[in-house]
Structure 1
Amino acid sequence: MSQPLVPVAARHVTCPPEDFRRASEEAVATARAGIARLKSLPASRTAREVLELFDETSATLDDASARASVVRHTHPEAALREAAEAAEQALENLSNDIRMDRGVYDVLSAVDLSGEDAATRKWMEKVLRDFRRAGVDRDEATREKVKALQEELIRIGQEFSRNISQDTRKVSLPPSALDGLPEDYVRAHAPGPDGQVRISTDYPDLVPFLTYARDGKAREQLWRANRQRGHPANVDVLGRLVARRHELATLLGYPHWAAYATEDKMVRTADAARDFIQKIATASEARMKRDYQVLLERKQKDEPQATQVEPWDSGYLDDRVKAEQYAFDSQTVRPYFEYTRVKQGVLDLTARLFGVTYRPVKDVPVWHPDVEVFDVYEGATLKGRFFLDMHPRADKYKHAAQFTLTSGKSGRRLPEGALICNFPKPGDEPALMQHGDVETFFHEFGHLLHHIFGGHTQWAGLSGVRTEWDFVEAPSQMLEEWARDVTCLQTFATHYQTGEKLPAELVERMLRADEFGKGLFVRQQMFYAALSLELYRRDPKGLDATALVRELQGQYIPFPYLEGTYFHLTFGHLDGYSSNYYTYMWSLVIAKDLFTVFQEQGLLNPAPAQAYRRAVLEPGGSDDAARLVNRFLGRDYDFRAYEAWLNKAA
């Protein structure tokens, strides 16, 4: 009888630096030995022998690299972060070496797949395509150049990310600058010995301040500090990142990096990505102009001579418009969104929908005391494990994301993942969240569920979120809808002092108010998408990234560009997503269509959730995303649901 599978990731991410280095070196050695065996298999080898050996070798590298990424982005010890960065680079280098190993390619391409199932054939089709995209079929000199560029790009990407995560800035302000902020925020920012309060650019400080602070000059000071992060360190780093990617793409026969990076996505080409961005921008233009005019008119009530809305005004004015014209003050919902209750609400709702239970695990080593661990069970069967690292601290990843720890494989390994977020931390003051934070929690948990439910495929190479990249956000975006439904919210949103349920009438006002500003939001996203795409479409020779920001901001959004600010230097997606930030809106089109089934059958009805889990989440990367969606909807996805969402009146 086979032994039950157990999670293993914790011991790999909580050990001393020397042990971490040793484990990473062992992963490299194991993978090298696996590749050597693969290339020396006898002629009598079976297809399954080849595929199993390649899959396990790849999984060894992928999981070791994934764990190194978690440590690099989260561990409080600098020595361990540095060890993880070095390990990640060595592991990625070996992965690149394998993809350019003609011997490996020849073995895999010779496998007779006629007796294999469709998912296996799909997997190997993607594997062989990735080998060719890495340059395996080029001459030796070209492969050596590609290898050198890939290794350099790993180092540059790590440097870009490190410069962002380590650059938290603070501004010193008089206590009067806190006028308008919630009481718990004011109490948490007591004046220092010099009588000044200090506000950081970390999200729990930044977002409420820019939303509620009445002092426009103070908002400007903090906004500028945030927009100067990454400068000057990332000026040269981003330039090298873009130039080397262009060099790599042209070396492989593509006109630019964007052409290379879109080829294996649902969108297929950079031109199609550009057309999609323009389509969304055009559809949202009129609404964006109306939104901006409303903000300007509201500003003119305070400043009659004002002729434009500054970027540090937008969040504050948006909140004022919603309070005054839509009878919704966003501060009124914060007491209902205390972090620990929101967390339990997300767990309870998703457990009910998807037929699982989450059991806290207390005897597992973690990399910081804030981290919580949960095992996922379906009945008596352990399905996976996840780690919640949810609060800000020095040198930690600054945004919100789901990270892989282990890619699952049926009969071999359980999937393990981590949520890395920056929500308010419970302590002396209640950890009250913005409604946007609640949406973010649901969003990232959607990624985690995809990873866990999709982590039981027959091949690790198909596990979890290994679908086309421009579909990856759709499941997480769809789960945000549960954070906007009054019945769902009332299952957990209770006032932290009185225990009163979040009133339905308040939710209705919140949702009506949320319709305002949608045009500005969509156009802002299209500005980010256009910047991402154009930065990698254009010839990097002589390309001034700051000038490109200035140019595109003028095309897509009404807020003026401010000299001396450098948004792009902290836009981490320019490394990870490179040219493909359009994928967020592309996925949203699909997410809105997927959600129509739940609108018809009920958000708390487990039946559509179970069907969705089986059709879309559990297959992982076993089929094209469009086919998975068709399987759930019973038709191809289309633009109608997104268009209805975009045009819904405020």
Structure 2
Amino acid sequence: MRLTLLLLATLVLGCTNSKNEKIVLQADNPFLVNLNEPIAYAKVNANHIKEYVNVTIHNSLLDIESIKSKDVHNFENTFKTYDRINNELDKVYCNTFLLNWVSADSLVRIEGTKGYQKIDSVITEIRADKDLFKTFKGYVDSDDGKLLQGNKKILANYIIEDFKQYGVNLNKADLKTYKTLIAQINKLSAQYSTNMNTAEEYLILNEEEIDGLPENFKDTYTLENGTYKIPVINATSLVKSNASSSQVRKAYATKIANIAAEQNLPILDSLVSKRHQLGVLMGYDSYAGYNLANKMAKTPEKVWDFIDGLLAESKIKALKDIEVLKTVRNTHLNTPNDDSAIDPWDYGYYFDQLLKTKYNLDYEKMREYLPMDACLEGMLTLYQELLGLKFKKVENPSVWHKDVTMYEVYEGEKLKGSFYLDLYPRPNKETWFYGVPLKWGSQTAKGYEVPVAMLLGNFTKATDKLPSLISFNELTTLFHEFGHIVDMMSYEGEFSLLANTKDDFAEAMSQIFENWIDDYDILSSFAKHYKTGEVFPKELFNKKIEAKNAGSGLLAQLSLRYCLYDMNLYDKFNPNNFLNTNQLWKDIDTKMGVMDYYIEGTHPQASWIHINTNPTYYYGYLWSEVYAQDMFTEFKKNGLRDTETGIRYRKIILANGAQRDIDEAVEAFLGRPTNNKAYIKSLGLE
């Protein structure tokens, strides 16, 4: 393996004269920065990315060889050195992946894709290096290694288990197969994302068909000939809940569920098949078994039990919710005896009608009280007060697009990290919402390297006539995704590999913050009418709270439907009875017995990012929510602006990463073992 890695370094550079010497980036390369100096993203071109990738790989592989060649091994020259090497490679991966998602330059996006794929291949080679693993294992089993304690012991065990999970114990033939599968999976996944993000679908409506949609929405998409050209993207999904015409709602729902279908359906089939092969190769019955081994759930059986339990808990309420929606529909259409099923494209519309008629609640009217600038300022103020942090906006930062802003995070005078906000949709940009890590915190020889992150959003954009007015759902998403940002900013451990928590707990630390906007004092501190400055009306807020659990059973079942699809793809795949990914939607609807969500002729699985980049992850949203609602009880007890509780939460939970068992940390924060009582109550199911 040593010869393989050295050869790889030579191939990456395309030369041999410097293969045994470290290389420095060209002086004009924006990625050449000092400790905690921001990257000048505005100056990055494709050649800079290519050089950054190749130089980092070359230097990292030389450092790997240095670990193995040491005559005497200790913690510093094995595990700590590896943590540093991994961190350097991870920074390149994160930045190239970022630019693939957000750059307006097609050459930068292409080179970004090549870059993160190349880094991924190198990391695969490193983790499969038997000589390196033997070095690590030899030190762990030595007398000195057996004395490791605390985070040093946790890091060593983490790396050993990580190498095992990445195939280091496979025989030569199986290891070759493993590497081939990983490369194929990464290529397919990248192509799936590219197809999804570059697809352009539009709905052309006339004046009659646009009825029911807000005036600001019409203004945004009107054409000179009096028609409306609506891009079918996440930011326009309100068509499904507001358009008066059922046919328009159906047309929109059909188009958004068919994005990139022609290209991505065969890709998904290949992904599922190859991931199954990978899981079996690694000694598991399915890919889910392999992928879940290092998560909190650990096994597919535990995930299935979790899903089945929530299905049973929420089904009775969901069936009642359906009957309520039928009544709303029948009243709306004056068909009192109609007991037919709700059409899937009408579900959102009649739920919206329920809110308007029973609760006198119009979510679109709420937008007028939720200008993005005010919401953003209010959110940042709250997070600072609650967590004992300070966010300082950076003037004229060097960023990848003019709409992007940058902030530095301080605790007192101490720099804790920095983050970017890229909030609005544009062509060729990733279409979903994410808190994206660009660099994890870690201790270096030159000082502490602080974390860097980005909030990627696709919120409602301003027009010539109106500022950005976001929906309440978008406000919830903003609070949620920024929770990921403060999570990343809060880490202060020595080792970058311990900065990240278990995947199925990660959402809890952001879901908890959604609760703050269900408090009137919090919401009214920033939610004010964009024209008049009128504070969000208390009466409107009370109606929203009254309606909080309207449809909660059905919403829970809908989330569980996605969990079932994800788990069926990756735990029930049978190579002898090839999975029909369209039929699976129908089978799940039949099994759940609540309503048929599937629209015939559509393929929502072709543009669902989770089953592409985060397989066997979706259950984690509900798994995390149980923890989030339980941890929130501590804030309800002590006060939603209580800084002492907020700092405790930051120090015990957010700063933890993988340094402490999650249940142990949660118990330390709550002063008791965790339970699901608060979650069940939040759904109105107690």
TM bracket, shorter-chain basis: over 0.9
Q: Distance in 2 between matches of 1:414 and 1:617?
A: 15
Residue from 136, 144, 153 that aligns with 1:108: 136
Counterpart check, 1:256 vs 2:286 = yes
Please report how far the alpha carbon of residue 641 of structure 1 lies from its aligned counterpart in structure 2 after TM superposition. Answer: 1.1
Number of residue pairs the alignment of both structures matches: 640
- What letter matches 2:176 in structure 1? E
The answer to whether 1:198 aligns with 2:235 is no
CA distance, structure 2, for counterparts of residue 110 and residue 635 of structure 1: 40
Work out whether 1:571 is the aligned partner of 2:603: no
* One-letter amino acid matched to 1:178: I
Partner of 2:546: 512
Q: Which secondary structure state, in structure 2, belongs to the residue aligned with residue 69 of structure 1? A: helix
Runs of 4+ that moved beyond 6 A: none
Quick one: which amino acid aligns to residue 609 of structure 2? G
* 1:414 partner amino acid: V
CA distance in 1, matches of 2:146, 2:654: 27
Equivalent positions of 1:343-354 (< 5 A) are 343-354=376-387
Residues 296, 14 of structure 1: alpha-carbon distance in 2 compared, 3 angstrom cutoff = farther
Q: Over aligned residue pairs, what C-alpha RMSD do you find?
A: 1.6
Per-residue deviation at 1:160?
1.3
Q: Does the C-alpha gap of structure 1 residues 14 and 581 become closer, same or farther in structure 2, counting only changes over 3 Å?
A: farther
Per the alignment, in what secondary structure is the counterpart of residue 426 of structure 2? coil
- With normalisation by structure 1, the TM-score equals 0.96
The 1-side partners of 2:90 and 2:489 are apart by 16
Deviation of 1:118 after TM superposition, in Å, equals 1.8
Residue 395 (structure 2) pairs with residue 341 (structure 1): no
Q: Which residue of 1 aligns with 2:681?
A: 644
Instruction: Indicate if the aligned counterparts of 1:9 and 1:406 stay in contact, CA closer than 8 A.
Output: no
1:467/1:367 CA distance change after superposition, 3 Å: same
> In structure 2, what is the equivalent of residue 357 of structure 1?
390
Q: Which runs of 5+ in 2 are unaligned?
A: 1-32
The letter of the residue matching 1:550 is K
- Matching residue's letter, 2:393: P
Verify: 1:289 aligned to 2:325, yes or no.
no
Q: Compute the displacement of 1:308 (Å).
A: 1.8
CA contact (8 A) 1:467 1:624 kept: no
Q: Is the 1:55–1:461 Cα contact (8 Å) retained in structure 2?
A: yes
In structure 1, give the amino acid aligned to 2:622: M
Aligned partner of 2:642: which letter?
N
In structure 2, C-alpha distance between the alignment counterparts of 1:103 and 1:460, rounded to whole Å: 23
Which of residues 347, 350, 356 is equivalent to 1:323? 356
Aligned residue number for residue 75 of structure 2: 47
Shift of 1:560: 4.3
Q: C-alpha displacement at 1:13, in angstroms?
A: 7.4
What is the rounded CA distance, in whole Å, between the counterparts of 2:149 and 2:649 in structure 1? 22
Pair 1:380-2:413 in alignment = yes
Is this contact kept in 2: 1:10–1:364, CA < 8 A? no
| Amino acid in the other structure paired with 2:46 | P
Residue in structure 2 matched with residue 498 of structure 1 by the alignment: 532
> Once the two structures are superposed, what CA deviation does each residue of 1:443-468 show, in whole Å capped at 9, x if it has no partner?
000001011101x21101112xx111
Mapped contact 2:389–2:409 kept (Cα < 8 A): yes
Deviations 1:491-533 (A, max 9, x none): 1111111111112221111121121011111101101001000
Residues 109-132 of structure 1, C-alpha deviation per residue, up to 9 Å, x if partnerless?
Answer: 222434433222122212111111
Residue among 177, 187, 193 paired with 2:219: 187
SS at match of 2:528: coil
Q: Is the 8 A contact 1:549 1:568 kept in 2?
A: no
Match of 1:561 in 2: 598
Equivalent residue in structure 2 for 1:273, among 292, 296, 303:
303
Amino acid in structure 2 at the alignment position of 1:450: D
8 Å CA contact 1:392, 1:421 repeated in 2? yes
1:389 aligns with 2:396: no
Alignment of 1:133-172 (within 5 A): 133-172=165-204
Partner of 2:442: 409
Q: Is the CA contact (8 Å cut-off) linking 1:201 and 1:222 kept in structure 2?
A: yes
Give the corresponding residue for 1:92.
120
What amino acid sits opposite 1:199 in the alignment? Answer: I
2:107 is aligned to: 79
- Residue-by-residue CA offset, 1:87-123 (whole Å, 9 max, x unaligned): 0100000111111101111111222434433222122
1:14–1:299 CA distance, 2 compared to 1 (3 A): farther
Which of 607, 621, 627 matches 2:658? 621
**Map of 2:23 onto structure 1:** none
**Which one of the candidate residues 550, 560, 580 is aligned to 2:617?**
580
State which drifts further: 29-38 or 279-288. 29-38
Q: Deviations over 1:197-253 (max 9, x none)?
A: 1111122222x2222111111111111110111211111100110011111111111
Query: Using the alignment, how far apart are the partners of 1:450 and 1:566 within structure 2?
Result: 34
Pair 1:598-2:631 in alignment: no
Q: Is the 8 A contact 2:433 2:457 kept in 1?
A: yes
CA contact (8 A) 1:554 1:560 kept: no
Shift of 1:538: 1.9
Moved more, 27-36 or 389-398: 27-36
